[in-house]
Structure 1
Amino acid sequence: MSARPVIGIIGNSYLINDEYPAHAAGLMNSAAVAEVSCCTPLIVPSDPSLVQINDLLATCDGFLFTGGRPNVHPEEYGEEETEAHGTFDRGRDRVALPLIRACVDRGQPILGVCRGFQEVNVAMGGSLYPEIRDLPGRMNHRMPPDGTLEEKFALRHTVTFSADGPFTALMGAQEVMTNTLHGQGIKTAGSRVVIDGTASDGTPEAIYIKDAPGFALSVQWHPEYRAADDPVSKPLFEALGNAARAWKTDARPNLQLKSA
């Protein structure tokens, strides 16, 4: 029996007990990859002194760019750092951004989630708003500060996709309900970044890369939460798994418009 495809999960830097440095990724990300994508999850340290892009490309069959509390540094899109931009993880910036560009060029499958969604846009030359809720007419997209995990990840707003885009084809629906746990969002779309889904306030929530030779979708919400049960989340991780299997076997069909 052949080994399952490997999905690299981009980790984040943390201090355990405020003193012990660690790299980690949420359990729900690994579970979504293992149980829904049916691939082997592999957490990637977000430190360019520890990993090399070519090694990652050779080791993994696809990548999941996860959420994370630190934001992409505004220097990466030509803006000055302000207090509104929050905290940063420069190591992750220096791993994720070139890795995204390499995957897009090669057709190697990627799925961006929350910060990963923003990373894909920045990697392709786009920019970000530091705080969506401060913009006129926008709702607060941040995680509720109180409540249980279930309450924080609850479905909170609709996302509407273009009628003929890959997300409608993948979901089998043009409008879906999603959770929302982000403060930043797309300001200007990067080169070849197509905004295919928006919240009711106009905030971009789903993108793909135009003419990408492989699977290259990203969402602003968190589909990893209960991915095996949620009808919006499950197709995304199934499609990522299908794309990784195709990459592993060198078939590499265009899977952007196909669900499992």
Structure 2
Amino acid sequence: MKKPVVGVLCSTETIAIAGWGELSHQAVFVKYLDAMTQFGDCSPVLIPSLLSGAEGWEISDILDRLDGVLLPGAGSNIDTALYAPARAHVGDRDCARDQTAMRILQHAASSGLPVLGICRGMQEINVALGGTLYTALHEVCDHFDHRAQRDSEFQARYSAVHRVSLPAKGWLARNAGTAFPEQKSYSVNSLHGQGIDRLADSLQADAYAEDGTVEAISHVTLPIFGVQWHPEWNVPTSPLGQLIWARFRDACHAFMAAPRKERV
């Protein structure tokens, strides 16, 4: 049976290679690709992050052939110039990814292309649709530190560390109550330094951390949604992770099945 083809946005990274020095690469963690194929029932292809105006580069040529897009996490932060020009930028920049993500989301908003944003990807959704971010969440009054515990073993950093509440009107609460009726609480991992400040008007919050940080969002009418944590880890033991990949799978299959002229 044919599977949806989903584009996975790469980040621009400089990687040191012995004997060659530091070279620019397009990169994405394999963990995202594994989760998509195992639990999302989709076939991934990589989308490069290139600055607009690059010779021969037109992202619409790629997007028109896709049934969905995954915006994964990354080590860089979205340039504050895109949502709060007066604020100083914090952390590394990836301007090529910023530009590419914004163009992807503009296309998705007009075409109905499904989008799942994870960590940085969720923040990209909010910014593209008119929202803003906290540039250093741990410095905001009454918010705790959501950054990765760098003194922990790598895999342990992706273990659940705090609980989330699910608003009754959100899609996560509606589906979790049906799929996991005996589950009383939900916990997620936390590896982000930034977070949502003002939520875009076309989005709703589907999960909150105990300090009020927005942890999941969805578009009110379109199949565009995201989570601040990393659901690509520990999916078999994560009820929320299973729901996230199932929703993305279903949205991509529905988009693939719809006649082109009916895609909105």
Matched, 1:112 2:117: yes
Per the alignment, residue 16 of structure 1 pairs with: 15
Maintained 8 Å contact 2:83/2:132: yes
Matched, 1:96 2:101: yes
Instruction: Tell me how large the CA RMSD over aligned residues is.
Output: 1.8
Matches within 5 A, 1:116-195: 116-172=121-177, 175-195=185-205
Structure 2: distance between partners of 1:229 and 1:30: 18
Matched, 1:205 2:215: yes
Matched, 1:224 2:232: yes
Matched, 1:52 2:51: no
Question: Structure 2-normalised TM-score?
Answer: 0.88
Q: Which moved more, 1:159-168 or 1:113-122?
A: 159-168
SS at match of 2:186: strand
CA shift in 2, pair 1:64/1:228, >3 Å: farther
**Structure 2 residue corresponding to 1:240, chosen from 223, 233, 248:** 248
Matched, 1:29 2:32: yes
CA shift in 2, pair 1:44/1:228, >3 Å: farther
Maintained 8 Å contact 1:113/1:218: yes
Per the alignment, residue 257 of structure 1 pairs with: none
Q: Which moved more, 1:173-182 or 1:60-69?
A: 173-182
Q: What displacement does 1:235 show?
A: 1.6
Q: What displacement does 1:20 show?
A: 1.4
- AA matched with 1:211: T
- How far does the alpha carbon of each residue in 1:127-176 deviate from its partner, in whole angstroms, 9 at most, with x for none? 11111100111111000011212211110011111112211123336842
SS at match of 1:20: strand
Any unmatched runs of 5+ in structure 1?
253-260
**Structure 2 residue corresponding to 1:250, chosen from 245, 258, 263:** 258
Q: What displacement does 1:101 show?
A: 2.3
Q: What displacement does 1:230 show?
A: 2.2
CA shift in 2, pair 1:220/1:26, >3 Å: same
- How far does the alpha carbon of each residue in 1:1-29 deviate from its partner, in whole angstroms, 9 at most, with x for none? 4x311111111111121601110111110
Maintained 8 Å contact 1:12/1:24: yes
- AA matched with 1:225: W
Query: Hey, which bits of structure 1, 4+ residues long, moved more than 4 A?
Result: none
Structure 1: distance between partners of 2:75 and 2:173: 29
SS at match of 1:141: coil
SS at match of 1:232: helix
**Structure 1 residue corresponding to 2:46, chosen from 43, 49, 56:** 43
Question: Which structure is larger by alpha-carbon Rg, 1 or 2?
Answer: 2
Q: Figure out how many residues of one structure are paired with residues of the other and give that number.
A: 248
Structure 2: distance between partners of 1:174 and 1:207: 21
Q: What displacement does 1:51 show?
A: 4.3
Per the alignment, residue 4 of structure 2 pairs with: 5
SS at match of 1:15: strand
